[in-house]
């Protein structure tokens, strides 16, 4: 993997890790900011998502290779799809699920760009 590609992967991992850390450290604030007043997700759910993001970022930053990027893309795409399904079937959690789907979708797209980006 080229040095430029590895740097891009590490940059994405840094952003993902920072977001994951925020979700872990401030789950109530994130949940309230991303939700309507009657649909605030439980703090433990936000923390678990943040932990997953932080772990994924740490692994990708430590070893920015194509297989790990592919795995991260698959996890992010799966999360995005599951949140689209939740947003479709749950009026109550539509807003937080849609935001989570959007973040995971952007992460998927950026992961693919890092994976296939030119030197």
The string of pLDDT tens digits covering residues 65-108 is 889 999 999 999 999 999 999 999 999 999 999 999 999 999 99
Q: 1 near 118, Cβ under 8 Å? A: no
Is a pLDDT exceeding 60 seen at residue 118?
no
Is a pLDDT exceeding 80 seen at residue 38?
no
Residues 45-57 pLDDT 10s? 999 999 999 999 9
Give CA angle at 31 (33, 26), nearest 5°: 95
Q: 96 near 34, Cβ under 8 Å? A: yes
DSSP H stretches of helix in 40-93: 43-62, 66-89
pLDDT of the residue at 37: 78
Is a pLDDT exceeding 80 seen at residue 2?
no
Is a pLDDT exceeding 60 seen at residue 117?
no
Joined together, the tokens standing for residue 8 give 């891009």
Is a pLDDT exceeding 90 seen at residue 14?
yes
Cα separation, 56 vs 77, whole angstroms? 13
Read off the pLDDT of each residue in 17-40 and give the average, rounded to a whole number.
Answer: 92
Asked whether the whole model's pTM tops 0.85, one would answer: yes
54, exposed or middle or buried, with CB in 10 Å at 0-12, 13-18, 19+? buried
């Amino acid at each position: 993997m080229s040095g430029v590609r590895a740097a891009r992967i590490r940059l994405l991992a840094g952003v993902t890790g920072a977001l994951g850390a925020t979700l872990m450290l401030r789950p109530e604030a994130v949940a309230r900011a991303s939700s309507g007043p009657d649909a605030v997700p439980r703090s433990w759910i936000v923390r678990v998502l943040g932990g997953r993001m932080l772990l994924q970022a740490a692994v990708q930053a430590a070893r920015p290779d194509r297989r790990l990027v592919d795995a991260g893309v698959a996890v992010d795409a799966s999360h995005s799809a599951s949140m689209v399904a939740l947003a479709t079937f749950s009026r109550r959690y539509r807003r937080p699920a849609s935001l989570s789907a959007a973040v995971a979708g952007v992460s998927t797209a950026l992961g693919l760009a890092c994976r296939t980006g030119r030197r």
